[in-house]
Structure 1
């Protein structure tokens, strides 16, 4: 496969998942302010922009301004608008590889999203973005051959999902963050959590579920494992000692440091552990770019604190 095509597919997966994850983070903020009238809006918005999304300069902010920045800011490549624009551009470059249905879904989403009124992000906006992201993911899985092209797309999706879930978990672990119920709802994990825990939900079990559960596809562990599997398929490692794939080594270390640690210790140091996951995603993305996408620089988050 051409390097530029693999690069585009990788970033389609990342940007579609980034749009979904950013919408979920904004939804956490919305639910927090809605369910807790005593919550300080300035503090909550600052925590999301600076602590979770990594913006260095944050002045006086409220929900309307925060949602505009994360949702409708066309100059921000990490906003939902910017993510859909980047996903569309990458899909256009890989037009001969992605399926017709997938291209139409991405193109239609981009144009319809641009027709929205640029106001505070509402429940309708947030839900629509999540539905469209799920549609694109479903079309990729059902209308593309599961070959190298699909592997690169899913690899990007898995890396971005690990990063975004780590950010969401960090909001729940923050002293000024929303309750774990809001975080679970934003991850679409409420029903799965209730079934797994037989209806007993505590802060500890919610954090453990989103971080360490191997069967919930949005957990940090599951996303890291999926990324590892895609890398293994793309380049089976036949070395008898060590790994020649640097990205796979980085992700394996991040996963095993969570999976084989005492759960109580992981949950006790949750913000630091989630920061480590985010750094591992950045390092793995750099390694993947160096190995497979030598023709172009690796695209990264801008302004994030690591």
Structure 2
């Protein structure tokens, strides 16, 4: 497979998952922000955009609810926004048109064509986020059901799983400080995990249990540990070389170390140690992305979390 095709597939997976994760995070936070006084809206909006890596340096106005909606949902110049991510995913699919299946391309193209048909106020953004979650689920479902499990699909799944681990970590990071903290129920809804959590925990509710579920649960596909395990599986499928000495490439080593630490580290104060765990996960995802780029895509420039439109 040509490295440019592999790179496009990797970034399709990342951008589609980024749009989905950002829509989930924005949807839950909008409901809460709409009920806060103006001063608190600005504080929480600035914090949220900072965690999500949204650049506001070229905007003279103070960050607020409307700026949050514009920058995180509709700004095509922002590769971390929903519209920017979906536009970049469609462009990468166009470049890899001979490799992605027709249903995947058609789903991405239809999604891109529908980006400008939504109102840009708070109510319109609610509906936009719901629409994006449905559209990204369609794209991912089409990929899973119409692409052979060859290297093409593995690169797509690799990008998706790596981004999913990073997005779940960022979602949890939006509640690092007491002033910005979501309730445990909203935190779970943000990741689409509420019902799964209730079935697994039954009567055990609370912030600690919710964080533990989203960080460590091996069966829920959006948990950090589960996502990192999926990254490992894709890396093994792409390079199944076996070594008795445990030698492996940098990306697999970084992901494996982060995942193993989370699974085997015992803590009596998970909430207190959460920022440290999340920073470790995000560093592992960034390092793994750079290692994957260096090994498979043959580019001199490093890929940042924001990625490239390539």
**1:8 match:** 8
Deviations, residues 154-194 of structure 1 (Å, cap 9, x unaligned): 00000000000001111233222222221211111110111
TM-score normalized by structure 1? Answer: 0.93
**1:187 match:** 191
**1:91 match:** 93
**What is the count of residue pairs matched by the alignment?**
303
Deviations, residues 109-152 of structure 1 (Å, cap 9, x unaligned): 00111222333453211111111111111111000001110000
- CA shift, 1:47, in A, is 1.3
- CA shift, 1:297, in A, is 3.9
**1:219 match:** 223
**2:25 match:** 25
Q: Is the 8 A contact 2:13 2:158 kept in 1?
A: yes
Residues 253 and 84 of structure 1: CA distance in aligned 2, closer, same or farther (over 3 Å): same
Distance 1:79 1:167 in 2: 14
Q: Is the 8 A contact 2:6 2:155 kept in 1?
A: yes
- CA shift, 1:302, in A, is 4.5
> Please, which moves more after superposition, 45-54 or 35-44?
35-44
Residues 172 and 113 of structure 1: CA distance in aligned 2, closer, same or farther (over 3 Å): same
Deviations, residues 3-28 of structure 1 (Å, cap 9, x unaligned): 11111100000000011111122123
**1:168 match:** 171
**1:201 match:** 205
Distance 1:112 1:69 in 2: 18
> Please, which moves more after superposition, 68-77 or 21-30?
21-30
Distance 1:199 1:135 in 2: 34
TM-score normalized by structure 2? Answer: 0.92
Q: Is the 8 A contact 1:7 1:293 kept in 2?
A: yes
Distance 2:103 2:79 in 1: 25
Instruction: Tell me the C-alpha RMSD between the 2 structures.
Output: 2.0
Q: Where in structure 2 are the equivalents of 1:1-306 lying within 5 Å?
A: 1-34=1-34, 40-53=40-53, 55=55, 57=57, 60-120=62-122, 122-177=125-180, 178-295=182-299, 297-302=301-306
Deviations, residues 236-295 of structure 1 (Å, cap 9, x unaligned): 131221323110000000101111101435432101210111111010000000100005
> Please, which moves more after superposition, 152-161 or 200-209?
200-209
Deviations, residues 190-246 of structure 1 (Å, cap 9, x unaligned): 101111111432011001001011100000000000000100111013122132311
Residues 72 and 266 of structure 1: CA distance in aligned 2, closer, same or farther (over 3 Å): same
Is the partner of 1:173 in helix, strand or coil?
coil
